[in-house]
Amino acid sequence: MKRLPYLIQLVILLCMISCHKRIGSDAELAIADSLIHEVRTNRSNHPTMSALQNCQRAIDLLPNNDTASLSRKEKLYIEMGNLFAKQLLYDEAIDRFHLAYGCAAELKDTIIMIDAYKCVGDMYRKKHNLGEAIHFYDLAEQLAIQSSAEKPRISLALRLAAAFMEDGKLDLATEFLPPAPYEVEAVDNDLYNYVMWHVYSITNRENKDSSEYYLQKMSESPDIYYRKYAVDNEHIAAIAGGDYKKASWTNHQKTRLEREKSDSFREEALESLNSMYQTLSIERQNASLQERNQQIKFYAMIAVMLLVLVVAVSAIVVYRIINNRIQLEHTKTMTIRDADIYQHLLSTSKVMSETEQHEAWELINTVYPDFLPTLQKLGVEKEQDLKVCLLLKMGFKPSRIAALVSRSDSAIANTRARMYKKVFGKDGKAEDWDNFIISL
Mean pLDDT of 245-255: 80
pLDDT score at 222: 82
pLDDT score at 13: 53
pLDDT score at 146: 87
pLDDT score at 94: 93
DSSP 322-383: HHHHHHHHHHHHHHHHHSHHHHHHHH--SPPPHHHHHHHHHHHHHH-TTHHHHHHHTT---H
Is residue 215 very low, low, confident or very high in pLDDT (cuts 50, 70, 90)?
Answer: confident
pLDDT score at 15: 53
CA 373, CA 380: separation in Å to the nearest integer? 10
SS3 content of the chain, % helix, strand, coil (to 5): 80, 0, 20
Residue 63 identity (one-letter amino acid) = P
Is residue 22 very low, low, confident or very high in pLDDT (cuts 50, 70, 90)?
Answer: very low
Domain span holding position 56: 19-178
For residue 312, give Cα distances in angstroms to 137, 351, 378: 69, 53, 39
Asked, for residue 104, whether it belongs to a domain, the answer is: yes
Mean pLDDT of 202-229: 81
Give the mean pLDDT of the chain.
Answer: 81
For 200, residues 6+ apart whose C-beta sits below 8 A from its C-beta are: 206, 207, 210, 211, 214
Asked, for residue 215, whether it belongs to a domain, the answer is: no
User: What dihedral do alpha carbons 232, 233, 235, 238 form, nearest 10°?
Assistant: 180
Mean pLDDT of 44-55: 71
Helix (H) or strand (E) holding 8: helix 4-41
- Of residues 258 and 121, the one with the higher pLDDT is 121
Asked, for residue 203, whether it belongs to a domain, the answer is: no
Q: What is the pLDDT of residues 88-143, one digit of tens each?
A: 888 889 999 999 999 999 999 998 999 999 999 999 998 889 999 999 999 999 99
For residue 94, give Cα distances in angstroms to 81, 135, 222: 7, 14, 20
Asked, for residue 282, whether it belongs to a domain, the answer is: no
Q: 309 burial class (0-12, 13-18, 19+ CB within 10 angstroms)?
A: middle
Residue where one domain finishes, among candidates 154, 178, 202: 178
For residue 69, give Cα distances in angstroms to 5, 64, 109, 143: 39, 6, 14, 24
Q: What is the pLDDT of residues 277-336, one digit of tens each?
A: 676 677 667 767 777 888 888 888 888 888 888 888 888 888 888 888 888 887 888 888
CA 278, CA 287: separation in Å to the nearest integer? 14
Mean pLDDT of 334-347: 84
The number of residues making up the chain comes to 440
Residue where one domain finishes, among candidates 143, 178, 213: 178
Is residue 21 very low, low, confident or very high in pLDDT (cuts 50, 70, 90)?
Answer: very low
Helix (H) or strand (E) holding 62: none
Asked, for residue 295, whether it belongs to a domain, the answer is: no
pLDDT surpassing 50 at residue 20? no
Coil/strand/helix, residue 148? coil
* Residue pair 364/372 in contact by the 8 Å Cβ criterion: yes
What's the structural domain count of the chain? 2
Half-sphere exposure of 239 (CA within 13 A, CB side): 8
Half-sphere exposure of 55 (CA within 13 A, CB side): 28
Q: Prior bond to 181 cis, omega within 30?
A: yes
CA nearest to 98, candidates 66, 124, 126, 68 = 124
CA nearest to 396, candidates 340, 359, 345, 361 = 345
DSSP category for residue 242: T
- Of residues 264 and 132, the one with the higher pLDDT is 132
pLDDT surpassing 70 at residue 9? no
The CATH number that applies at residue 80 is 1.25.40.10
Asked, for residue 93, whether it belongs to a domain, the answer is: yes
pLDDT score at 98: 94
* Residue pair 190/215 in contact by the 8 Å Cβ criterion: no
DSSP category for residue 129: -
Provide the percentage of residues in the chain whose pLDDT is more than 70: 83
Residue where one domain finishes, among candidates 145, 160, 178: 178
DSSP category for residue 187: G
Q: 239 burial class (0-12, 13-18, 19+ CB within 10 angstroms)?
A: middle
pLDDT score at 116: 93
Asked, for residue 276, whether it belongs to a domain, the answer is: no
* Residue pair 167/176 in contact by the 8 Å Cβ criterion: no
Asked, for residue 86, whether it belongs to a domain, the answer is: yes
φ, ψ dihedrals at 295, nearest 5°? -65, -40
